[in-house]
A = this chain, B = another copy of it.
């Protein structure tokens, strides 16, 4: 089923006059005659009866006309949609986000959706490490992740969380027996700050006896409350502080940034618009 033939037929059915239809199609009349004959041959039945004054649709022609119009409309819509996809006004954007970006992602995504209602946004909830993996293999175009991100990825910092120490009663925040930190896979950016803290302590002649990991911040705080040690947590965690735990600034400034990450070489105008909107 060639679009060209359908278009010829639909225009001809509109004016029921080969000459006029041909000029509307920017063709000559014999060319149109041929196209219609080809279409009729392919279908195996006549679409029009040629009278002396113009042509008239056959019953089959009338039935077929509706279907042809339908398909043509969809073909044109696809053309238009493709153009908009190229310009970055339509398409699909797969965006990852995690617990760390719960305050961040929704508002930005909502803003983007307001500007680009035709863009289908696929939101996928996963850890920063998973997001990085999927950004690298292309399953994700954008991710709200803990910064920094590794080499081929680019990023835009959006939110800076100060890191603080949470300690239970009776624990010396400056020399805690154990340092409690979030598991490595939950936040790639944390490692550097942990090292900076340990270096800072080492400079003061102190080395904690152990570094423990936990999978989420609630667990870290619970361990701190039990007097196990000092938990290195983002300052925003004060909202979920259990009783008997207090917040202490470490001796050195430690930060944990959350931001948007992407793979620059996997360019997509849609993605670039999203980034531009956040800048």
Residues of A within 8 A of B (CB): 1-4, 43-45, 56, 58-60, 62-64, 66-68, 70-71, 74-76, 78-79, 81-83, 85-86, 91-92, 138, 141, 266-268, 270-271
Contact = CB atoms under 8 A, between A and B. Distances in A.
Contacts of A1: 3, 75-76, 78-79, 82
A1 B81 CA distance: 11
25 contacts: A1-B3, A1-B75, A1-B76, A1-B78, A1-B79, A1-B82, A3-B3, A43-B82, A43-B86, A45-B85, A45-B86, A58-B268, A59-B138, A59-B141, A59-B267, A59-B268, A60-B86, A60-B91, A62-B92, A63-B85, A64-B82, A67-B81, A67-B82, A70-B78, A74-B74
Contacts of A75: 1, 71
Given A78-B67, A141-B59, A266-B59, A44 B3 contact: no
Contacts of A71: 71, 74-75, 78
A63 B62 CA distance: 35
Centre residue among A44, A82, A91, A92 by max chain B CB count within 10 A: A82
B3 A60 contact: no
A141 to B, nearest CB: 6
Nearest to A267: B59
Contacts of A78: 1, 67-68, 70-71
A85 B68 contact: no
B63 A91 contact: yes
A45 B78 CA distance: 15
